[in-house]
Structure 1
């Protein structure tokens, strides 16, 4: 017998009951036996096995299953071309990061990959080296520089670097709904694999939490906040495209945890605060404002590894 207690109620799965449950599982698995695509057959059978195992392990009630269906329905209803609640759900359950880990194996010091996030936009403007990605977004000016190399230490000239970030209020341009384009751009490394640009010092912000995923986080006592970060996507011929962040060392949210599990120690970077009046690396006049400076060197793995 399999003893279970659900909200103070003892539930026992007899041997006959367990055999009946296993018989149903076997029937469902067999129903996918004729799936022509072997990969689809493998995935569908694995989904069924794990789903049935969950139901049987926790002795899921019919009411709880109905609540789960209602939750998924609400996630679908709030999803549109500006918001993807299912991506958000994948993120907060760690499924996104686990998929990234499986598909971006560590390789000879290559920079770690992390979560893509929902706010990337195709067709960002190009800026020259030393240009400004903020383009009107509010925040503390920040000079970011570094190199792009391969795992043998060779510089990668002409690597395309996409960069995007939120403003000082924790919002990305696409969240304003007025077609602005700010806090994002792309640039290319020079002949020595070097890059540099002005952006904003990253700040922590909450993921959208006014929907079903946010209610789930609240019910489980979890914070919706992300650790302060700057997004990068780096690509070059013959090398594995890298999607990553750099995170701000000293951000208090590091201790509290990242709501989507995106932080890796190797990606934490020191953003050095500079007092107002301190000369900038390129001579830019930032007026009477303080500014920050960071260095983030990037190492790309070979394609196909």
Structure 2
């Protein structure tokens, strides 16, 4: 390795340090990363002060990241990288349900719930009744599919954002399973559009760019079923004012659904009569067969 490196020769010198990597994919990733990072620095004529400021920014992203707040995920989201990776890895125009972002509020230790359960966790809000069906590409029901679902409350807050109010209980999320007809259903509260967290480093980017921090109203879903590809997706409210300017670029027209409004006194899907307005949402999800 030369000790008299130049602005151009250093890139090749660093690339060659990965020649001994046995895993070809790992080697490709690091070699390309070095090439593009170096090209970026040369293209913008990066200064020392700017680079140290960038390193400090990444340190601060790490400082505010916790199991309940994924600031690195949010950084990837607002830069459009999360959606780009999803688009690269999922074919456009297929007959299956479109995928989109997992988001920073997914929780592994969510409670399990039976179909028909109230998963609101006693959070106050407009009652929401969701009914979903999971099919394969031939229209056959997928029984026993594991379904994660989660969403915000009527003020746009997730349970992990208000631990003291909920006494550290999880709410508005559950792990469910489809029945023999591929169906799952639950009661909760209607979500709301909300801003992504802006009190951390990612908020600085949004303010500098004069960008909206808002996410349109949506419901999250994650599906796992034996013999099928996993699916991470969302459903977006059709009349949401932020549908066209999602801060994390996750909204898709194929995932837009009507949140149907019902008047007090109407019969809810579970057979109860409510003396308050409520909403219903129905959707069919189509899973792709696993790759053999």
TM over 0.5: yes
Task: Show the 5 A alignment for 1:1-305.
Answer: 20-106=6-92, 108-177=94-163, 178-255=167-244, 257-287=245-275, 289-304=276-291
Alpha-carbon distance, 1:242 to partner: 0.9
CA change 1:265–1:107 in 2 (3 A) is: closer
Return the alpha-carbon distance in structure 1 between the equivalents of residues 37 and 124 of structure 2: 46
Return the alpha-carbon distance in structure 2 between the equivalents of residues 300 and 203 of structure 1: 27
Q: Which has the larger radius of gyration?
A: 1
**Which SS does the other structure have where 2:272 is aligned?**
coil
Q: TM-score, normalised by structure 1?
A: 0.88
CA contact (8 A) 1:202 1:248 kept: no
Moved more, 259-268 or 186-195: 186-195
CA contact (8 A) 1:107 1:301 kept: no
**Which SS does the other structure have where 1:296 is aligned?**
strand
Q: TM-score, normalised by structure 2?
A: 0.92
Return the alpha-carbon distance in structure 2 between the equivalents of residues 259 and 32 of structure 1: 37
CA contact (8 A) 1:207 1:224 kept: yes
CA contact (8 A) 2:136 2:142 kept: yes
Residue deviations 1:31-52 (CA, integer Å, cap 9, x gap): 2222232221111111111111
Return the alpha-carbon distance in structure 2 between the equivalents of residues 124 and 77 of structure 1: 25
**What 5-or-longer segments of structure 1 have no aligned partner?**
1-18
Return the alpha-carbon distance in structure 2 between the equivalents of residues 116 and 294 of structure 1: 20
Q: How many residues of Structure 1 are paired with residues of Structure 2 in the alignment?
A: 285
Return the alpha-carbon distance in structure 1 between the equivalents of residues 135 and 235 of structure 2: 17
Q: Which runs of 4+ in 1 moved over 3 A?
A: none
**Which SS does the other structure have where 2:8 is aligned?**
helix
Alpha-carbon distance, 1:210 to partner: 0.4
Return the alpha-carbon distance in structure 2 between the equivalents of residues 119 and 112 of structure 1: 20
Return the alpha-carbon distance in structure 2 between the equivalents of residues 293 and 251 of structure 1: 16
Alpha-carbon distance, 1:105 to partner: 2.8
Give the RMSD, CA atoms, in angstroms: 1.7
Moved more, 166-175 or 291-300: 166-175
CA contact (8 A) 1:142 1:291 kept: yes
